[in-house]
Every structure is written in structure tokens, then in C-alpha cells.
Structure 1
Amino acid sequence: MLASAGLYGYYKWSKAQEKVNLWTLVPDDAVFVFETNRHERFINQLRQTNLWGNISRLPYFTNLQEDIRLLDSASERRLTLREFIRQKRIVTSVHVTSKTDFDFVVYLPVSSVAEHRYLRSFIENVAKSPLFQTKEQDYQGYLLTQVQNAQNKDAFTFFTYRNNIIFSSNTGLLQQVIRKINRAKLESPVQEFRKINYLKERGVYANIFINYRHLAPFIGLFLKPELQSDVDYLVSLCRSSLLALQVDKQNFYLNGLSLPETLPGSLHQQLRPKNSQALRLKAYVPDRTAILIFLGNQQLVGLAKSNKQISSLVPEVIPWLDSLRQTMQQELALCYLTTPNENVAPEKVALAFTPNPDKTQQVLQALNTAANVRFATERAGRYRIQEIGIPELPVKLFGKGFTGFPRCFAAQVDSFLLFAASEETLRGYVQNIRDKKTWANKEQQQRLLQKTLPQSSVSLFIHTQNTWNFLNRYLQEDKKVGLLRYESLIRKFGQISWQFSRQNQQFLTRILLQHRMEASATHENEEKFKLEQEIAFAAPLITGPDLLRSRPGNATRILVQDSALVLHQVNPEGKIAWSDSLDSKLTSPVYPITFGADAQPKYVFSTHNRIFCLNQAGKDVESFPFNLSDTTTIQNLTVIDRGQANYYFLVNDVRGNIYLYDRQGNLIPGWQPKEMPGKLAIAPYYLNIKGREVIVLAMENGYIYALDVNGANYPGFPINLKGTFTSRLIAQPGSSFRNSKMVLLTQAGELITFNLAGQVEKRMAFARPSRRTTFELVSENSGQSFLIARQDLGRVNLYDADQKLIMEKNYVTSTPKLIQYFYFDPANIIYVITERGPQKTYLYDINIALIGDKPLTNKLPVHLEYNATLQQYQLFKTTDNLLQELIFRARP
């Protein structure tokens, strides 16, 4: 018994040590399979392209990054998941899971004892973390573990098999893998390519397998059913491909081999191509082409075999149909033209190469005679357009895939015979050829064709800009939101080609995705930012032009302070209106207030231990400044507007004392000063809820106080939020204390919402990848909404209040960034990120695209205004001793 137990244990141990080819675990219905091992180099290569900004914001990518950071936050391990998988060979398969969706399975090898120890500790820590919920189930002898995000309910499931971990967000796919394992028939989908491994070659980032027998259902997830038969037919040329992924600054290349489809009725069985053909019809394809399908063969007869359409013809026509087909050879194409909007069906033109055009025209005339019809020809320049009296003639000539010609018009253009469904379509097409608005005369298209295969048996060309309305028309309704969400990325890929060239018993295959090159950053910035005016001061500026808490009226007034401690006002004409020497640097924003007989706004602010109020001439208003004791250092000044020009001035010092002054400089009873048990974390906040005045104080020790103007606590306060605060407080006033919300963010990344009744309503934790991670609440310019900024070394993430990722960017330095958020209307939003060290300011539009493609020189907060009439922005920024006004538009 001991010997048997020992032998059994040794057998199980040895089986566990056997290396498994991860490809053999992939279920047979995989549409795509990706094998990668150079993830870091691939990401670095992508960063050199102008696509990275779009790719890094894809919801799938950003959600994955966020989930990884949350897992790292929960695992409390020094080695992050990203570092763990950096050099690993990973296999990922894509599967259709329903009539409307697809999902992924990821296969990850665990190669050493140290990696086993890391994963075991990682999983144990995640299971203990309140950020996640775990659940286990047994399936056919394997333990499936589900890990769910406790907040957003995102989940994934995993199991282990012989030193490999397999995981997916779809449990059904993992069960499919387990069933394959238990059948003990572990065959790789790339068995026929077993001698090929492109990853051994220099510059290759991935092996990519395509299963064309499952590609049509995958495409069918996105397109409407009316296109499904055409898709089924086109993808039936091959049964599978194995391709190598390569990337340069302007192109994604997938090069490799494909195996022909052997099933009866497939496109390959009808074509049976022997030799490839060069694309000679470049001069006959208009610039406005959206999609071009090219078939290059020696003979086209095979396309019409088993064509059921022919049986409906009168017997006299069939011989002439065969004769017409015999006059065509080598090249056949179907051209879809761009449409003005998605409500218009795309026009299409079929092209066939005719080496003897005169003979083709004679057969066409005989065909019309046999069909007992006669139509007058129309001229289009030196070409003639004639109607052919046989409906759906192209499908009868070339078979499946050439439907959509209920009426058929033909034109012989040099050596190509063109078919269209209307005379107008054909006339416009011929006019494009006459005007030389074709691929042969377009430089961008020529650059693409130079990188494609010189000869091919079948090619598909897609122009994304011209295809946009086509996509909107034929995309499934539930996928249109995704199309708009990924619009900026899709449009970056201006040209796409997919080619097959017959070589012996297989196809040489190339897929090329070419993205548009951006204009030079210098030229773009010159176009984007126009210097409107520039003002020089005697000393370098130490504040940005954003000092004014709000802008009175429509006139732009700017206040700045220089290093000589002089405060300057700049009027709307760009002139220095006045300058005033102060005793120290400002310790508060500048508040514009209005009182007295003078309707002009006055400016209230604080310095080290004084409160100033200046009029429009820069002179002290009567009773000002208020002089606090020499031992008092003002930390914050809050101006309280009680209505009817009745203002209070609330000051807190660095020791936790709070003073409340009226407009004449008198201290209010209860605030002489009011001593708090510690230092305030942020500036006090004032609200008026149905006539009840509230002053909210957030202490560094996590306590929150809500006081009335007499300094007494409101019921329910103080409350202990058990956190440390450094960011601002956001108020959401309501009709009552219970409906009035206050939002705070802790240093640890917990967003806390409480009401003025003293009740904590919600606590929401953000992932904190490391102890160096910092968080900040960023209020927009009007104060009505906010974002959450997370900074970790050089990475900045912006989230909305529901934890939805808005932006993720990496910067040069690891020092904290200055972040501003400007919201003018739903279509005009600007995000501003400033790196103080390199003195670089980046402006991003609503699509998180960098405006101008080049940062501006600046290190202080900027001020931004938007002119809706002119649809342009005014940007005020400082550089050394200069105040600059720049004009720009975020959109062309």
C-alpha cells in the first residue's frame, strides 16, 4: 500500500511537471488566437506611433489596467502583475459566446517555484481583501475560482492545470477548456503550422492564428443579417491563417501563410486560383472608393459553376452568357463607393478585365438581341453607357457575391467592362476616371499599394474614412455606441488591406493596417495656438493668471503677483491697470465682491497676516486692510456672501484658530477666535440651506464639523470619517440638510459622501497600486462637478464620480502634476496637466487628444475662457516675467 501510494504520488507529481503546449488547451471554436512574449517592447513600439493615445483609452484596455492596479492594491506584493507577466509567453483566444457577444480566454504558464509562491500569496491576499469577493466551484475535477470586484461587480474566473493558470471573465469558456482536457485529446489548432514560430524572428511581437470557419459568426456580431451571406462567402477562401505581427511608425503588418478551404461551395472551391495577378485596375478605381474586393485569376469560369440564377434564363441567352464570360479573364473586382450619409445605400460597380474589348461589345449586343430587348446607348465623354436587358447580370456571370444589380448598365472603359445598377452611378464613376480622380493619381493610395503584395489571388481594400457611413448603416444597433466610442482610433487607420497570394498548396497572406501620419508638431502648434498679446513685468511672476475666484461680468480681468510681491491687474485691453506692493505672497484666491455705492467689483484676498480689499483703481477700500496679530499666519481665507452686500470673512491660521470678521473688521461673537482641536486640512466651506447657514470644517485628524454662524455645532456633528484629507471639499446643496451632500477624498483614495445631517452615505475606494500613489479632487471651473485624479510616479489617471476612467497619461517626471478641469458645455471640455519641473503644460480636448501635439512652456496654473460665438478659447499663461494670451480652437 505504501509503495502504491508512493508510486501514485510520484505519478501525479511527474504529470504536474510535464510542460503543456498552451495551444493544445484552446477550444476548437476559437476565432483568433494570439501568442505573445514581448509585451514591454510592443508597448514601447506603440508609444512611438500616434495611435498610443487612442489605444491607451480603449475601455477594454483601461478597464484591464485598472483591474490590474486594483489587484495589486489588494495583494500588497512588491512585485506587480505587470512585472510578473512582462517576459512571459502568453496565449489568448477569442470566442463567440452568444449571438451578440464574444469573450477571451488567457493561458499563462507558471515556470518556477518562486512564481508558484508569488501566485499563491497573491491569490490568498486578494481573497482576504474587502475590495474583492471570491467564490469556488468544482467542475469535472477542477476547481474554478471566481474573483469579483466588490464595487463595480466585474469578475473573472480561473483554474490551474499542470503549472499553467487559465482565466477568463466567461466561466462557460473555462468549462469548455476543462472538457477538452478531460477528453484527453489535446490538439493544437495550429497543428498544420507546427513547424512555424514567428516569435523566433527579429521584430515580431506576436503569432496570430485566424480560424476562418468561425470568422463569419464573429463578424456577424457587428453587421446586420442582410450582409451575412456575403460575409460567409468572402471568408470561405481559407480555413485558417498563422501570421506574424510587426509594427513600425505608420503600419501594422501581419504576414504569414493561409490554408485553402476544402469544403464544397466555398469561394476557394469556385475560384481554384493557380497564379496570382498584379493589380492593374488602379487607374479605374475612384478616390471615393470605400471597399474594393479584387479577384485575380487566369479564368473566371469557375465562379459561375452551379449558378442557380442561370436556370431562370431563356435558353437562347445562356450560350451568349457563356461567350461573354469567356471574353473576361485575369482580373475581377467589386467596388463599393462612399455615401453622403448612412441613410443612402452604397452604390457599387463590378469591373472585369477584357483583353479584347471589341469582341466583348459584340457579345453584349448579341446578348441583348437574344434577350429580345433593345436600349439606346448614352455617351459619357468618349465612353458609352448601355443598359443590358438581363436583371442581376453580374451574379449570373460571376456567381455568389455579385448580387445587387436589379437593372444592369454596362460601359466599356478601355480594357475593363464596368457594371452598375443605375446609369447615374456608372456616369459618375466614368467621370471620376476621366478626371483622373483615381488610385493611380493619389499619392496616399500609391504609398499603401507599395507596401502591399505585388500580386494576389484575392485582395480586400478598405478606406475607413469613406466607409464610415457604410458602417453606420449596416452595423448592429447595439454596436453603434462602440463605433462612436472608438471613432478616433478607427479613423486613425486610414487604409486597410487583406491579401492572399497563391503559392503551391497554400496562400501567402498579408494584412496591412496603415494609420495616418500626423502633421509636424511645430507646424501644428503654429496653427493651433495664436499669440494674441504678451505683457512683460519687471520681475518674474510667482502666481498664475487664475487668481480670481470668479469673473465679474463679461470682461476679462487678470490678476498676477510677481517675485517682488507686487500685485498687478491687467484690464481687458491687455494693459496693466494698476500695481500694488504687498507685504507677502498671497495666501488665498482673490474674491470679487460688490458693496457700497460703487457697483464696480472690489477684490478681497489675504497675505501672511492681513486681509486686503482693493477697488478698481487698486486703492484700499475704507476699513481695510484688516491686520491680524504678528504671531498669526493665515492658512486660508473664505469670503461668505450672506446676501444684500452683507459679507463675512472667515480666516483660519496654521494652529487651528478660526476668526470670523464682518465688513467693518469686527470679530463675530463665538469666533474670537474659535479654537479647533487641531489644524484644518482644507479651507472652510460655507453653504446656505433654506436660510440656515452652515460652515463645514474638515480637520487633519479626519473629524468633520458643521457649525452655525455663532460657532455652535449642528446636530449629528462632529463626525469621524477616519481619513486624512489634503484635497478640496465639494458641495452638492439640496433642499434640506439631509439632501445636501458633501464629498471628500482621503489621501488613501477613498471617496466619501456625507450629508449635513451627519450621516455618511457612501464610501468608494479607488485602487491604490503603491504607497507612493496620491489622490486629489479636481473641481471644474464653475465648481458644479469634479474629477478624481490619481498620480503614481509619472502616471496620471482621471476618473469621474462613478470611477469611470476619463484619461490615463504617462509623463516625464514623477513629481506631482498640477491638474485643472474646464467645463464650458458638453462639447467643450478641456483638461490641463502641468509638469512643474520641465515647465510643460499639456491641453487635452474632450476626446483626450493633445491640442497642438506639443506642450506649452508653463509651470503655473492657467486661466481658460471660451467664446461660444467665435467657437474659440482664450488661454492665459505665464512664462518667467511674461503674461501671454493665446487663442486656439480644439476642433477644426
Structure 2
Amino acid sequence: MVALLLGFLLFRRWQQSRTPLDPWTLLSAETALVIETPDLWRSWHTVAQQSPWQALDSLPLVQVMSAHLNPLDSLFQEGPQRERPKIPLLTSVHARGMRVAALFWLDVRSSGLSREIDRLLREISRNPAIQTHRRTLQGYTIHELSADSTTFSYLRYHNVLVGSFSADLVEEVINQIRNRNNEGPTFLRLNPQIRQGAHWELDAANLYLNTDRSARWLDVLARPETAAAWRALAQSASFDVSVGAEQILMNGQFTSDSAAHFIDLWQGQEPQPLTLLDMVPNRTALLYHWGISDAQAFGDSLWRYRQKHGSRPDSTWQQLRQKGVDLRNWFGWMGREVAFCQLESGGSEVPEQLLILAPSDLTEARRQLRALSDTLQSADEEPYVETYIGAEIRQLPVAQFPTVWLGNSFSGFDQTYYAVVKDVVVMANSVRTLKAWVFDIEAEEVWGRSVQQNVWREELPERANLSVMVNVRLAWKRLLAGASAEGRALLQQYAPVWRQFGFVAAQLSRTGTQMPATLLLRYTPGDATLETPGGRALASLYDVSAEASLTTAPLLVHDAQHRPQEVGMQDSSGALYLVSPRGQLIFRRALEQPLVSDLSQVQLTDKAPSYLFATSHQLWLLDRNGDAVKGFPWTVPDTLPIQYLRAIDYDGSRRYRILAATQGGAIYLYNTDGQLLDGWKPLATKAPLATAPFHVRVGTRDCFVVIQRNGTVHLLNRRGETYAGFPVTLGDSLYGASFWEPGVRLRDSYLTLLTDGGEVVRLSLEGKVERRTQLVRLSRNSRFQLCPTADGRAYVLARQDGNRLTLFNAALAERWEKTYLSASPKVVTYYSFGPDQQVIAVTDTTLGSTWLYNGQGVSLLEEPLRTPHPIALTYGADEKKYRLYRTVGTQLQVATFDQ
């Protein structure tokens, strides 16, 4: 019996030695990622020639691959008729903190490949620049090739040759070999379904991921919640990888062998199309979308998942239950889509966020939202209700309400406001964000109308259960904020590389037991610029000639959605011109007085747009033919000339009020019939104004902000009556614009003002000075400016000391400094069209020159612009070009230059 047993064991060992070994069986449980290439050289040459891969050349991992593969490639090509062998390669990647370590596995069971590998190793050993060594570990021989302080270690076991630039990984392979007949964990045992989805076909490679092990990189590079979300998503994933001229596309699937993963919530839920694209604004940096066929069943699954994983906010949920609100019932009307939008927020430190729903029962949605708002409203405060452009905005007084209802993926709503527009429910984390969204919808500034977005998404499936789409340019600040210190350093060091992939998307579906997925990285090299280099040349678009010298700057006319439409100008004879966006003259109107205001487009009820402006003592409204609208002009009954003019639309209903303020500080407020309103006949402030009075809405209150040159700030209601806490005297004179930060109540709404002495004052609309900060004043002659963007979302500060100009950001940190030949006053204008489209225009009206800089202070043009007036500037996101307007002599000149 002993002899028989011994014979069987010897036969088994002989049989194993004759049976080819699958390298997959030796992959350790610590493997995070496996890359499988059917033919190393074909894949390498195919991929390396594509622009997306070439964009990655500066990354250390890619440089290492190139440095080692290119010399090997030349060795394989030696000889007159040598045919490069087909080499299937496995690369197993291991997470070692910030370090990426890899093992390279070759299956050399083919006698031809085995001979070729032996030849290659002989060629290498004869190279005098390479030192060869060998050592023995646990009976296995490890070979080492060393050159330039780099060592490649490898061993051969049966038909498998495995090597690495990390010797410890090769040593771990030996342990894996010794224990391969045990039942311990391996990569395949941990991920038993992982090889069922990917196929070689003609793609560049296959990619296999273990979510738990790959999350170790996120542990180092990102916030803990990001790594936790990735671990919870699924067990593993596998993808075909193809690299084209404009994208890297991965198609495959996720796998899960239990109901413990997040993707399992969609079991039985049919994938849905993304029909909310016309509700997703173009400012969206990140879109997170759920597609659901049975919302109530999904809600029940989500409830159980959150209970199991401890993510349910028990205290808030329990408080709502005690008040008769069971959020599980809300899934009954939720509908088939949930879209969470994180927006590019300009200079704001508070991220702007939206939650958009397409209810299946809009009536029930309205009822439950209203009931929640009314039930939780504090007894000592009026409920927040406001109508804006026909949309009723209400507050849901539950902190982090979307998180309470739907989970941690929807955080960031310290306050929640909602509106129902075009059969969708939208929630926002601020009133300002919600109003801006309504504005964007009216203007059709949405993904569904964006040519660029439609091109980016064309490779994505039409239906999915879970989608994430990222506009990398708009999301860049959020990506930095969401990274750890190490991750932030890595993003910043290789920012020009990452940002060349301007659109990144992932889509997952749950179809029966299958979970198909698509990952897309769109190569958009034009989006990669962080600092626009100097030397941009202007390309003339059109010129329009006047009959006399022009006396005004270009007067951009914006429509109700703040889109630039036409441009106006006035010449020395008094003639006013209106020019179309294509350079065609719309009208020429003779006037007897010069303009003292901008041109504003107003649209009274359903009539065609008209154009409002002021001369020294009159208010004019012209139609598109240049004719005065019936009843105009109005004469302002004041001895002093008009200084400021504003058209005010309280709630977007086009019931305008027209405000005119004189050089002496008298303020007149008219309705559209030309009648002066009570309290404004005029409202006499008895001192000159620092800037044009403006209207803000705080909760249900309409407020007029009036700032005087002597440093006095007034807050008035519609009747011209002063709010409690005002007027406020700042103790120093000031002149120029202020910055408005909206809130829900007067106490959390703020004005930022800059005094002539350089003090930055933050004042609440309760009349309390929250903060005073002094900018460094280098001399008594230092001049200061606060420069907000046209949309009022951000601002910078400027200080001029003689011929030197210094720019500061809103945090009062110095951005850059410039020195000019002249010490004459400079006019600073700040344009922000996105995170990478910030332009600062500096105009010296004495010299007749304007300089343009980007946010880092780099000059945008080859030379200063020659113009006696400030310029105007717009930006086209689709063509990625700026459009510049200037008036020179008798000409309006319009030109473009690249981003």
C-alpha cells in the first residue's frame, strides 16, 4: 500500500509538471488591478500612437513603461527577417500606499515564444551596461538584471516567467507558489466572476479590478468617504479597453456575489434614459444620476441598505416620523430619475448644488413637499415663499434634507429650497442657486442644448441605472478640495495631463444577474490650459463705422437671461447706434444729449424687447426700430443731472420699476406708466452716491441698497422706508461697487464694501458690521477698487500706488502685481466665465490703453489695446474663444482671440 501511495504521488507530481500552469492561479489576494494584453507589441504600438496615450507621457508610470518596453522592442526586431513574437502579458498591480508596484507575467508554454525569450535574455546578459546576478530563496532561483540603479528581478516556474522592479513582489510570488494547493485566498478566489465579462477581440487590453484592494489608493489620495463609497459599490469589475484618437473607452461589467453592495439596490430595476438633460445647467461640474423603474421598491431596498450599513440619520428621521412625516412614502411619487448636480461656483467658497426629480405624481409631490414645509416651519418665523420668473420657491426647514431622504451621496445641503418648474421638482442649497437654475432653464443654457455635451456623450449607452459624468475643467476645484494632501499634490503636479481628459463618465446597469458598465475618458486637449501664455493675436470679426467720433465704451445689451445680445455706442454728434451680434446696424437714433447710463433691455409684458437709457435729465425707451416707445422720454424733475439708472424686476414677472438717481443723491422710482411711486418723489439722501442703488430680495422682503460717498449705507423697503439697524456709517468715504451675498434672512445676508482707505467691511443686512479688514496701504495716495463680475458671483480687489497695480482675491491674498509707465488712474474690470476663463482688464483712459491678463497675471495679448474707453468682453464656450469689443475713433471693432 505504501508503495502504491508513493507511486501515485510521484505520478501526480510528474503530471503537474507536464500540465501548463495558468498564471492567473498565482495572482495573490493583494492584487488590486490586473491588465491583460493578448499581444504586448501590437497593443503597445497601437496604443502608443494614439493622442490620449501620448498625453500621458509625462506620468512617471508611463515613462517607466516606455523606458523598458522600447529597448525590448528594438531587441526583438534585431535580425534581417525576424518576426516579432506574439506575447500575451499579464500585469498585476499592487497598492503600496502612494507607490504603484507591478508584476509582469509571461506564459511561455509555446516553444517558439520560450526560445525567443531565452534569446532575449542572452542578448541582455551580453550587454556590458547590465549586470546579472542570481540568488536562491526557498529553493527557487531569482535572477536580477541591474542598470542605472534599477534592478529587475524575475524567476521561472514551469511555463511561467514572472518579474518585477520590486524585488519583494517576486519573493511574495514564491510564497504564493509554495501555498498554491492550499485553500487560502487568491485574486481569483476573491473575485470568482471577474473573468466572465471581458473579451480580447481587437481591443488594446482587458482590465480587472478588485474594488477593496484598489480602494487602498483612494485611502491615500482622497477623503475617507470616497474610498468607502468605492468599496461599497461592487466586489470587482472587468473591462475591455480601447484607445482611440479622441477617447479611452472601457466596456465591461461589475460583479457582486451577494446583496451587500450598493449596485445590488438596482436588482429588478430596469435601466432608464437620461431625460432630464434639458434641466441640467451647463455650469454642472458633476452629474450623479439614478435611473429607476420602480421607485417604491427601490426606496424600500435603499431603506434596508442604509439600516444595514448604518448610514441612516436616525435622529432626524425619527423627528420627522414623530411629526407625521414618513419619507419612505415619498418614493411613491419620486419617479424614474434622480439627478444630483454639483455646479461650478465661480469665486464662491460655498459649492452650489441641485437635486432634480421627475415625479410620477406631480400633485402628490407638491402636496407632500408643501406639507413638510408647513409642518416644520418655526412658529416665530414667517415661512419662506418667493415667486421668481413664475416659479414659487419654498424652503424645506430640514438640515441636509436630501441626505436624510436619499443618503450620503447627496450631502452639502445645509439649507434646502425647492421649486416646481416644467413638471420637475428641483431642490437647491441656496436661493441664489435655485434662481440661477431657473434663469439657465429659461435661457436654454442646459446640457440638452449643448453641442459639446452631445458630442461627449455619444459613446455612452442611452439607458443606465447609475451614471456619473464629470466636466473636469469645471470640477477641478472640487477635485482638489476632495483630495487628501498627497492626492492634491499629485493632481496639481500633473494638472496639464489630467485636464486633457475634459469629460469623464461612468455608467452602470443591472440587467438580471449582469451589471454591464461603461467608462469613458474624452480627450479634449483644448481644455488643459491652466495658464494662458501671452502672445494671443486678435482675429477681426467685424467693424462698424459711425458718422462721428465715438464717445462711449461699447455698451453690451443683455437679455433677461443675461446673455449678451446687441451692442450700443454713441458718437460725438449725439447719435445712438445699436448693432446686432453679426455686426449689422439695427438702428441709428439722433439724440440731443450724451448718455449717462448703460443700455438695458427690458421687455414689458409680452411686447418685443425695448432699450432703456438715460441722458442728463431724461429717461428714454426705444423700440427695435429706434423709435421712442409711447409716453417716452420722461423728464426727471431735478435740477441736477442723472447719474445712475436701473431697471428693476422684483420677481421676474416683467413688472418693472425704473430707478433714477441724480448727482446730488436724489432717487426717483417710477412704474412703467411713468408715475412716481410713494416714498420716491424723490427720496432725498442729501449726499452724492458711491454707486448705483440696487434691489435685492431677502426671503419675502424687497430691499433697496443705497450707498453714499460719505460712507453711509441705507437699506430701504419698497416704500422708501428704512429697515431697522440702518443707516450705518462706516467712518470712511467710499466710491465704487459693492459685493452682495444673498441669504434667506437679513441676518445672514451680507454686503462687502471697500472704503477709500482700503478697509474691507462685511456688513449684514441687519446693520451689523461682522468684520473689518485693512488692506495694506503703502501710502496716503493709495487707491482701492472692488471689482465684481457682471453676474455678481465673484470679485477681486485692486490697489494702485503710483504706477504700480496690485490685485487681491476675495480672501485678501495677493494674486499679482504690475508696473506701468504712467501713474494715471487705472480702471480694473473683472471677467469670470469659468474657472479657467478669468480675465482682468486694466484700462488707462489717459493713455488710451487696455491690458488683458488671465487670473495668474499672464498677459493674454501680444500688446496693449489702443482704445480711449474701457473694453467689453464675452466668451463662447462652444468655440472656446473670447469676443472683444472696443471703440476707437469712429469705429466699433469686434475681434476674437483663443482661450
TM-score bracket relative to the smaller structure: 0.5 to 0.7
Q: CA deviation at 1:112?
A: 4.6
8 A contact 1:320–1:363 mirrored in 2: no
Q: Counterparts of 1:11 and 1:261 in 2: how far apart (Å)?
A: 33
Matched, 1:332 2:338: yes
Q: SS state of the match for residue 242, structure 2?
A: strand
Instruction: Using the TM superposition, give the Cα deviation of residue 869 of structure 1 relative to its aligned residue in structure 2, in angstroms.
Output: 8.6
- Supply the distance in 2 between the matched residues of 1:106 and 1:517 (Cα, whole angstroms): 32
Tell me, in whole angstroms, the C-alpha distance in 2 between the residues paired with 1:242 and 1:384.
Answer: 47
Give the conservation status (yes or no) of the 8 Å contact 2:197–2:253: no
Q: How does 1:452-471 map to 2 (within 5 A)?
A: 452-471=460-479
Name 1:744's counterpart in structure 2.
none
Distance, in Å, in 1 between the alignment partners of 2:329 and 2:860 is: 65
Cα-to-partner distance string for 1:101-149 (whole Å, 9 max, x where unaligned): 3322211122455654554565466557563455544444323334333
Question: In the alignment, what sits opposite 1:347?
Answer: 352
Match of 2:413 in 1: 405
Separation in structure 1 between the aligned mates of residue 122 and residue 343 of structure 2, nearest angstrom: 58
2:319 is aligned with 1:321: no
User: Which residue matches 2:159?
Assistant: 163
In structure 2, relative to structure 1, the CA distance for the partners of 1:243 and 1:84 (3 Å cut) is: farther
1:262 alignment counterpart: 258
Give the drift of 1:193.
5.2
1:478-557 matches, within 5 Å, as: 478-516=486-524
CA distance in 2, matches of 1:346, 1:12: 64
Q: Distance in 1 between matches of 2:499 and 2:262?
A: 30
Question: How big is each residue's C-alpha offset from its partner over 1:518-546, in whole Å with a ceiling of 9 and x where there is no partner?
Answer: 89xxxxxxx99999xxxxxxxxxxxxxxx
* Correspondent of 2:369 among 364, 372, 382: 364
Greater gyration radius: 1
Which residue in 2 is equivalent to 1:204?
203
In structure 1, the partner of 2:101 is 103
- Report what 2:279 is aligned to: 284
Aligned mate of 1:437, from 435, 445, 456: 445
Aligned residue in 2 for 1:855: none
- 1:656 corresponds in structure 2 to none
2:268–2:511: 8 Å Cα contact kept in structure 1? no
Q: Which residue of 1 aligns with 2:391?
A: 383
Distance 1:107 1:399, change over 3 A: same
Give the structure-2-normalised TM-score.
0.52
Q: TM-score, normalised by structure 1?
A: 0.52
* Structure 2: distance between partners of 1:515 and 1:414: 35
Q: Tell me how far apart the structure 2 counterparts of residues 470 and 489 of structure 1 sit (CA, whole Å).
A: 17
What residue in structure 1 maps to residue 584 of structure 2?
A: none
Partner letter of residue 334 of structure 1? F
Alpha-carbon separation, structure 1, partners of 2:154 and 2:350: 46
Aligned to 1:64: 65
Q: CA deviation at 1:40?
A: 4.1
Q: Secondary structure at the match of 2:20?
A: coil
> 1:380–1:431: 8 Å Cα contact kept in structure 2?
no
Instruction: Determine the C-alpha separation between the residues in 1 that align with 2:439 and 2:424.
Output: 15
Q: Deviations over 1:546-577 (max 9, x none)?
A: xxxxxxxxxxxxxxxxxxxxxxxxxxxxxxxx
Question: Which stretch has the larger CA shift, 21-30 or 384-393?
Answer: 21-30
Q: Is the 8 A contact 2:31 2:187 kept in 1?
A: no
SS of 1:503's equivalent in the other structure is coil
1:325 & 1:304 partners in 2: Cα distance? 11
Determine helix, strand or coil for the equivalent of 1:502. Answer: coil
Alignment of 1:79-98 (within 5 A): 79=78, 87-98=86-97
2-side partners of 1:70 and 1:43: how far apart? 13
Whether 2:317 is the aligned partner of 1:309: answer no
Question: Does the 8 A contact of 2:471 with 2:502 survive in 1?
Answer: yes
**CA offsets 1:320-352 (integer angstroms, 9 cap, x no match):** 4334343213211221112436x9353322222
Structure 1 stretch displaced more, 86-95 or 323-332 = 323-332
1:259 and 1:506 in contact (8 A); partners too = yes
Secondary structure of the structure 2 residue equivalent to 1:470: helix
- Change in 2 beyond 3 A, CA 1:508/1:122: closer
How far residue 290 of structure 1 moved from its aligned partner, in angstroms, is 1.4
**Residues 69 and 204 of structure 1, relative CA distance in 2, 3 Å threshold:** closer
Letter in 2 for 1:287: N
Map 1:619-638; keep pairs closer than 5 Å: none
Deviation, 1:456, is 0.7
Unaligned runs of 5+ in 2: 528-534, 540-857, 864-896
For 1:133 and 1:352, the matched residues in 2 are separated by 65
Assess, with a 3 A threshold, how the Cα gap between structure 1 residues 358 and 234 changes in structure 2: closer, same or farther. Answer: farther
2:720 alignment partner in structure 1: none
- In structure 2, the CA distance between the partners of 1:155 and 1:449, relative to structure 1 (3 Å rule), is same
Aligned-residue CA RMSD (Å): 3.9
* CA offset digits 1:360-396 (Å, max 9, x no partner): 2221221133324352212331222222111111112
Q: Which of 229, 234, 238 is the aligned partner of 2:234?
A: 238
**SS of residue matched to 1:204:** coil
Shift of 1:288: 1.6
SS in 2 for 1:308: coil
Deviation per CA, 1:777-828, whole angstroms, max 9, x where unpaired? xxxxxxxxxxxxxxxxxxxxxxxxxxxxxxxxxxxxxxxxxxxxxxxxxxxx
Amino acid across the alignment from 1:25: L
What pairs up with 1:699-738 in 2 under 5 angstroms? none
Equivalent AA in structure 2 for residue 188 of structure 1:
L
Equivalent positions of 1:77-156 (< 5 A) are 79=78, 87-98=86-97, 100-113=98-111, 115-116=113-114, 119-120=117-118, 122-123=120-121, 126=124, 131-149=129-147, 151=148, 153-156=149-152
Deviation (angstroms), 1:445 = 1.1
Contact 2:109 2:159 in 1 (8 A): yes
Corresponding residue for residue 668 of structure 2: none
Q: Find the aligned partners of 2:520 and 2:325 in 1 and give their Cα distance.
A: 42
Residue matched to 1:644: none
Change (3 A) 1:36 1:84: farther
**Which position in structure 2 is the counterpart of 1:554?**
none
**Aligned residue-pair number:** 518
Output the CA distance in 2 between the equivalents of 1:286 and 1:142: 62
Q: Deviations over 1:596-649 (max 9, x none)?
A: xxxxxxxxxxxxxxxxxxxxxxxxxxxxxxxxxxxxxxxxxxxxxxxxxxxxxx
Distance of aligned partners of 1:164 and 1:323 in 2 relative to their CA distance in 1, 3 Å threshold:
closer
Larger displacement relative to structure 2 (178-187 or 496-505): 178-187
Q: Does 1:176 align with 2:180?
A: no
- CA distance in structure 2 between the aligned counterparts of 1:248 and 1:64, rounded to whole angstroms: 19
Report the residue type matching 2:412 in the other structure: G
> Partners of 1:67 and 1:13 in 2: how far apart?
37
